[in-house]
Amino acid sequence: MPEYGLPKRKTKWAGVILFAVLIVCGVFETPVYIYQNGLSKAELLLFLFYFFATGMSITVGYHRLFAHATYKTNDFVRFLLLFFGAATYEESALKWASQHRQHHQFTDTELDPHNSKRGFWYCHIGWILFYKHCVNQNNVKDLLQNKLVMHQHKYYDFWALTAGILLPLAIGYGIGRPLGAFLMAVCLRMFLVMNAAFLINSYAHMIGDNSYNEKESARDHWLGALMTNGEGYHSFHHRFPNDYRNGIKWYHWDPTKWFIYTLSRFGMAWDLKRTPAGYF
C-alpha cells in the first residue's frame, strides 16, 4: 500500500467535464426549464429528498460515521449511508475517510490533501480536479474489515451510477418529468451537495473563529454551518473529532447531530461519543 506522499499536478479531465456538465445543466438550464415547463410538486419533492438524503449521507455517514466513528449503527443504516453517499460522486467512503483522516493528522501541512496554506480555490476544488493524491489505506484498517464499505469501494462506479443517476432518472420517468429529474435531482443536487462538502475544506478553514485551537486554521462560523449541515463548527471538530456533534450549543445549527440523535432514539444508532463539558 502506498505511504503518504505529496500531491502531484495532474488535470483530471473526467472530473472537469462532470463539473462543467453540472454547472451548465444544473445551474443554468434548471431556471430555463422551470420557466418553460413549470415545477411539478413531484419533481420538487424528488429534488428535495435527493438533496437531503445525499447531503446528509456525507455528513452523517462519510464524515461522522466512517471517517471518525463517532457513533455505532446497524447494517441497514450503513447501507443507506453508503448508497446515497455514492450518489454524490465524492469517491468511495473508504477513500473519502482515508483522505479525511490524513487531513486531520497533517492539518495545514504539505501532507494535508487540502492544505489551507495553498489558498481558497485549491482547498475548495483545485486539489480534487487538478492534483493526484496518494491514498494510504493504512489509516482505515477498521473500514477494510467492513464488507459493505469494501463492496462500495470495489464497485464504486456501479454504486454511484445506480444511486446518483439511474434511480432519480427512473423516478423521473415514473412521475412523467425525466428531464426535470435529470436537471434538478441529478445535476443541480450534485452541484450543491459537492459545493457544501468543498466549503468545509475552504470556508471552514478560513472564515470564523479558531478559538478551540489557535494554532490550526479550522474555524467555527454560523454561516458555514448553515451551508454544510452543521459541519461549519470546524474549530471544535478539529479539537474534538470523535464527538458526534460539531455544534455543541442548543442554538448551533447542526442537523447532522440532530439526525444522529434521532436515529439513537429509535435504536438505530448507539454509543454516541460526547466530549465531557469540562473539556471545553
For Zn ion, the closer of residues 65 and 218 by Cβ is 218
Buried b (16+ CB within 10 A) or exposed e, 182-208: bbbbbbbbbbbbbebbbbbbbbbbbeb
Least distance to Zn ion, CB of residue 92, Å: 17
167: how many CB neighbours lie within 10 A of its CB? 18
Of 183 and 204, which CB lies nearer to Zn ion in the complex structure? 204
> Shortest Cβ contact with Zn ion: which residue?
218
Residue 6 beta carbon to Zn ion: minimum distance, rounded to whole angstroms: 19
Minimum CB–partner distance for residue 187 and Zn ion (Å): 27
Tell me how far, at minimum, the Cβ of 103 lies from Zn ion, in Å.
6
In the complex with Zn ion, the residue whose CB is nearer, 171 or 218, is 218
Rounded to a whole number of angstroms, the minimum distance from the CB of residue 144 to Zn ion is 19
- Cα separation of 226 and 119, whole Å? 22
Residue closer to Zn ion by CB (options 165, 218) is 218
- Minimum CB distance to Zn ion, residue 216 (Å): 8
- Residues in contact with Zn ion by CB under 5 A are 218
| Choice between 30 and 217, CB closer to Zn ion | 217
Nearer to Zn ion, 187 or 196 (CB): 196
